[in-house]
Amino acid sequence: MLTFQLQKEDTRSVQELQREIRRLAEEKKAVILAHYYQRPEVQEIADFVGDSLELSRKAAQTDAEIIVFCGVRFMCETAKILNPTRKVLHPNPESGCPMADMITPQQVMALKEKHPDAMVVSYVNTTAEVKAVSDVCVTSANAIKVVQKLPARKIIFVPDQALGNWVKRHVPDKEFIIWQGFCPPHFEFTAREVKKLKEKYPDAPVAVHPECHQEVIDMADFVGSTSQIVQFATTCPAQRVIVITEVGLKHTLMKKNPNKEYIFPDSMNYCGSVYCCTMKAITLEKVYTTLRDEINEVTLPEEIIERAVIPIRRMLELT
């Protein structure tokens, strides 16, 4: 079953909490941003729900005094970097991204020293410190386009090996040095499991996120970021679609087009199902207390903000 443990409140108290959060947001002129992988009840109270790129753009453009970011730490940092005069609040400061923590700025510097002619391309799923030593950032939605436009022939790609290999396939004229990081939830999906689903639902096209294993990507009819999967799955002619990404996306898919069936795999990860544990650690209660008391503010050294904004802006310009 593709379900995860929701909060313990009954339906009524969930609704009350949601109303109270929205009231506070209006009162404090706060904007609430939520990633697609957030719990459904958290997505419901957000002003905007989207993927990393869409939320980065919203964070950069907002004139709200407070940004409550329901996502993982690197996303909150990106919001702060792009709009440093705003107060960015993270409802659960412990929610980091395991993949982002798989590389340090020191490791990037060592790669740069070894390959001085290469440009460092970092997935936005990196810490602010890693961004600060990168040449350009990418998301899974724009990585191919950005790398194609770079003047360097040699690319250091960090930290996701799956996305790096996916880009390498599409940009064959460049040389790649790819860091061996990975997204634990997306690496849980196996080709065997996808094959079984394809046999069970032969009429359903398969949409896969590029953070998955290469052999899973090879079985896809469509490969794209979460927002690109939303577009494909909700508008393609097929009545049902096999979706190989984090299960939180199901909520958006059902909202955008409830007339279709979205089939997610049943595989289990270290949290008990294929979902991102750190994303799901953000609950309505945490959003409520964070906004009410204006706690869990995201702060970064000025020097890091000044350096990390350069590769993010470069990405936004190139796309």
C-beta atoms surrounding 301 within 10 Å: 11
244 forms part of the interface with ligand SF4 (CB under 6 A): no
Q: Where are the beta strands (DSSP E) in the chain?
A: 30-35, 48-50, 66-70, 87-89, 119-123, 136-138, 154-158, 175-178, 206-208, 222-223, 240-244, 261-263
Nearest Cα to Cα of residue 89 among 137, 28, 130: 28
Residue partners of 153: CB distance under 8 A and separation at least 6? 117, 173, 174, 175
CB of 171 to ligand SF4, least distance (A): 22
Answer for the pair 91, 46: CB distance below 8 angstroms, yes or no: no
97 forms part of the interface with ligand SF4 (CB under 6 A): yes
98 forms part of the interface with ligand SF4 (CB under 6 A): yes
Number of residues that bind ligand SF4 (CB under 6 A): 14
The reply, when asked if residue 236 is annotated as ligand binding, is: no
- Interface residue with ligand SF4 among 213, 246, 300, 314 (CB under 6 A) is 246
Which segment (80-88, 134-142, 179-187, 213-221) binds ligand SF4 by CB under 6 A?
A: 179-187
Residue partners of 272: CB distance under 8 A and separation at least 6? 4
- Interface residue with ligand SF4 among 184, 210, 224, 265 (CB under 6 A) is 184
68 forms part of the interface with ligand SF4 (CB under 6 A): no
Q: Write the interaction track for ligand SF4 spanning residues 115-154; mark x where CB under 6 A is met and - where it is not.
A: ----------x-----------------------------
CB of 125 to ligand SF4, least distance (A): 5
DSSP character string of 249-302 = HHHHHHHH-TTSEEE------TTSSSS-HHHHT--HHHHHHHHHHT-SB----H
Dihedral in degrees, nearest 10, Cα atoms 60, 70, 179, 222: -90
- Interface residue with ligand SF4 among 24, 64, 68, 72 (CB under 6 A) is 72
Single-letter amino acid code for the residue at 241: V
234 forms part of the interface with ligand SF4 (CB under 6 A): no
Single-letter amino acid code for the residue at 193: E
99 forms part of the interface with ligand SF4 (CB under 6 A): yes
CB of 100 to ligand SF4, least distance (A): 6
Answer for the pair 179, 161: CB distance below 8 angstroms, yes or no: yes
Whichever of 119 and 276 has its CB closer to ligand SF4, that residue is 276
Whichever of 99 and 146 has its CB closer to ligand SF4, that residue is 99
- Interface residue with ligand SF4 among 45, 279, 309, 315 (CB under 6 A) is 279
The reply, when asked if residue 209 is annotated as ligand binding, is: yes
Question: First and final CA of the chain: distance in angstroms?
Answer: 38
The reply, when asked if residue 185 is annotated as ligand binding, is: no
Residues that bind ligand SF4 (CB under 6 A): 37, 72, 97-99, 125, 183-186, 246, 276, 278-279
Give the annotated binding-site residues. Answer: 35, 52, 97, 123-125, 140, 183, 209-211, 226, 276
